[in-house]
C-alpha cells in the first residue's frame, strides 16, 4: 500500500469537504445574527438587537432622517423609529422575515438579503407593507457575526 498516495488523497478530500462545511456553518451563524437583531426589534428594549450591531454601523431606512451612522447607530435608529411611530400615530408594529434570498460569506464578511413584511396600525387602520427587502452586511469578529450595515427597502 502506498501511504504517501493515501495521505495525499486524504488531504485533497479534506480540502474539498471542510470549506463547504465551514461555509454552511458560517451561513447558519449569519442567519442567526440577523434573526437576533430583527427578532428583537419589537421588544420594549432592544439590548439583544443592539448587541449584534458592530461599531460603527450604517443604517438606511424609509423614515427621516433616512440614514444613521456611527457607534450608536442601532440605538439611535431605534429612538428615531419610536419617535416617528408616536408622531404618526403608528401602533402594533410587526415585521417578519421570509426565507433568505441570499446569504453570501467571503472570509470575515457576509451579505444577507431576505424578503420582509411589515404590518402596523396607523390611526387604528391596519397597514401592510408587503414585498419589502431587508439587506444586511456583517463582519465576523472574535465574538461572532456583527451587523456593519443594513437597509430596509419597501416596494
Give residue-wise pLDDT tens across range 11-46.
444 444 444 444 458 899 999 999 888 877 766 667
pLDDT of 154 reads 87
Q: How confident is the model at residue 141 (pLDDT cuts 50, 70, 90)?
A: very high
- Higher local confidence (pLDDT), 41 or 56: 56
Q: What is the pLDDT of residues 95-137, one digit of tens each?
A: 889 999 999 999 999 999 999 999 999 999 999 988 899 999 9
pLDDT of residue 48: 83
Q: Is the pLDDT of residue 80 over 50?
A: yes
User: Of the candidates 115, 73, 69, which has an alpha carbon nearest to the alpha carbon of residue 95?
Assistant: 115
Residue 30 near residue 145, CB atoms below 8 Å: yes
Predicted confidence at residue 25, as pLDDT, reads: 87
Rounded-to-integer distance, Cα 55 and Cα 125, Å? 37
Angle at 132 between CA 104 and CA 153, to 5 degrees: 80
- In order of their start, the domains of the chain are 3-153 (3.10.450.50)
Contact status, residue 136 vs residue 147, Cβ threshold 8 Å? yes
φ and ψ at residue 78, rounded to 5 degrees? -60, -45
Amino acid at each position: 500500500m502506498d501511504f504517501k498516495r493515501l495521505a495525499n488523497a486524504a488531504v485533497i478530500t479534506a480540502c474539498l469537504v471542510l470549506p463547504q462545511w465551514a461555509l454552511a456553518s458560517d451561513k447558519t451563524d449569519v442567519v442567526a445574527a440577523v434573526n437576533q437583531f430583527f427578532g428583537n426589534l419589537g421588544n420594549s428594549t432592544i439590548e439583544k438587537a443592539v448587541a449584534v450591531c458592530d461599531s460603527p454601523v450604517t443604517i438606511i431606512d424609509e423614515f427621516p432622517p433616512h440614514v444613521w451612522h456611527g457607534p450608536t447607530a442601532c440605538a439611535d435608529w431605534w429612538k428615531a423609529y419610536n419617535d416617528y411611530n408616536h408622531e404618526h400615530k403608528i401602533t402594533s408594529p410587526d415585521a417578519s422575515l421570509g426565507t433568505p434570498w441570499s446569504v453570501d460569506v467571503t472570509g470575515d464578511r457576509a451579505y444577507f438579503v431576505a424578503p420582509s413584511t411589515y404590518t402596523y396600525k396607523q390611526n387604528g387602520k391596519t397597514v401592510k407593507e408587503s414585498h419589502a427587502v431587508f439587506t444586511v452586511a456583517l463582519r465576523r469578529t472574535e465574538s461572532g457575526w456583527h451587523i456593519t450595515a443594513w437597509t430596509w427597502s419597501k416596494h
